[in-house]
Amino acid sequence: MGRIVQLDHPLVCHHLAALRDRSTPPRQFREQVRRLSVLLCCEASTSLPLRHTQVETPLATAECRELEGRIGIVPVLRAGLGMCEAVQDMIPHAEVWHLGFYRDESTLEPVEYYRKFSDSPPATALILDPMLATGGSASEGISIIRDWGVQTISLLCIIAAPEGIARVTALHPDVDIFCCAVDSHLNEKAYIVPGLGDAGDRIFNTMRSTTTYLTIAVLFTAASATVQAHCQVPCGIYDDQMRIHMMEEHVTTIEKAMTQIEANENINQTVRWIMNKDEHADELTEIVTYYFMTQRIKPDMENYEENLKLLHEIMIYSMKAKQTTDLANVTKLNELIAQFEQLYLGEDADHDHEAMEDDDD
Ligand code: PRP
Ligand code: URA
């Protein structure tokens, strides 16, 4: 029967407090993840097999022991990457193999998008993932690693939910789980409460915080005020055609990222392309929401509902483009943007410069 070990150490408590704090910035958040990962690694390695060895010190021969057998570290992308270097530092000869999952937002089940394993598995695997929520990702990861042929598997997570622990122990009773805290429960979106929020977003600084949105909103409000104050400004503030071209460019970048993710063998490059794809999909959504839906589409305009429907569909497909590398989503995005351009700009579509003045002028 696998062990469930919750670390009970003053340093764990101390670093966990800073990690949970919503005001902890990404750089400090990553440092806390690393510190906690070192402590987790120490605990998780207590039962690793040792063999006898002799070492020559400057004075004499010392009878020593060293780790025996191949050890694999398996960070689960993305958030597990934040723990990887710290564990590698503690076990420098360990091999690092990568697994990538994201949680489908509707089913909450894990979807695998990356796997880099060799033909010969190590004897032991330490799976790294800071969050054990529903346990879907961890259970799927353990099954894959077990099928690969690894004999001894441990799961290292920073915060676990009771639901996740129950699922993993039910499906994989022989796996040891090490965690820094077991929290209260999952909320309706399967986030751990009180938890720390989205670990991947906090490590990689990809959260769209309220502050960011507020800043954007304030900027747009300021821009509107400027337009009203200078109603003769002929163009450049509301340049619809330019925004549509920007949307098309984002889709082109997403397409390139998808192709690179599929083709790339280098994990670092792959992760960069995944993040790049996420950013461009977010920027595309931002044009749809903050420019068109908030600023340009008005209830009294012609084709109001049809315009909104197309914009909403663009948002849905840009989310799908974030979740997959399926080029069909790119094709659909291009079609939708072309339809929106035709509907919204009509005869003005595709002219080089068709800036529209504010309706309130
Ligand atoms: C998080 C986390 C786990 C998973 C846990 O990843 O890092 O992998 O959710 O949830 P589960 O126990 O319900 O499966 P996420 O899907 O947010 O991806 P990310 O690390 O790329 O942000
Ligand atoms: N993934 C996270 O990053 N946080 C949670 O609370 C649950 C899943």
- Residue 361 appears among annotated catalytic residues: no
pLDDT in tens, 103-158: 888 899 999 999 999 999 999 999 999 999 999 999 999 999 999 999 999 999 99
CA 206 to ligand 1: nearest atom: 22
- Run of H or E including 179: strand 176-182
CA of 357 to the centre of ligand 1 (A): 44
CATH, domain range 4-51+61-204: 3.40.50.2020
Identify the CA nearest to 192 among candidates 103, 98, 101: 103
* Distance, CA of 307 to CA of 71 (rounded, Å): 55
State if residue 191 touches ligand 2 by the CB under 6 angstroms criterion.
Answer: yes
Q: Which of 198, 239, 282, 358 is catalytic?
A: 198
The domains of the chain are located at 4-51+61-204, 210-348
pLDDT of residue 308: 93
Enumerate residues 6+ apart whose C-beta is below 8 A from 167: 134, 135, 136, 138, 139
Identify the CA nearest to 44 among candidates 19, 71, 66, 17: 71
Q: Which of 46, 61, 107, 211 is catalytic?
A: 107
pLDDT in tens, 247-283: 998 999 899 999 989 888 777 778 878 888 888 898 8
Q: Which CATH superfamily is domain 210-348 in?
A: Nickel-containing superoxide dismutase (1.20.120.400)
Whether 4-51+61-204 shares its CATH topology with 210-348 is answered: no
* Distance, CA of 305 to CA of 341 (rounded, Å): 15
CA of 240 to the centre of ligand 2 (A): 37
Its pTM stands at 0.64
Low-confidence ranges of the chain (pLDDT < 70): 208-237, 351-361
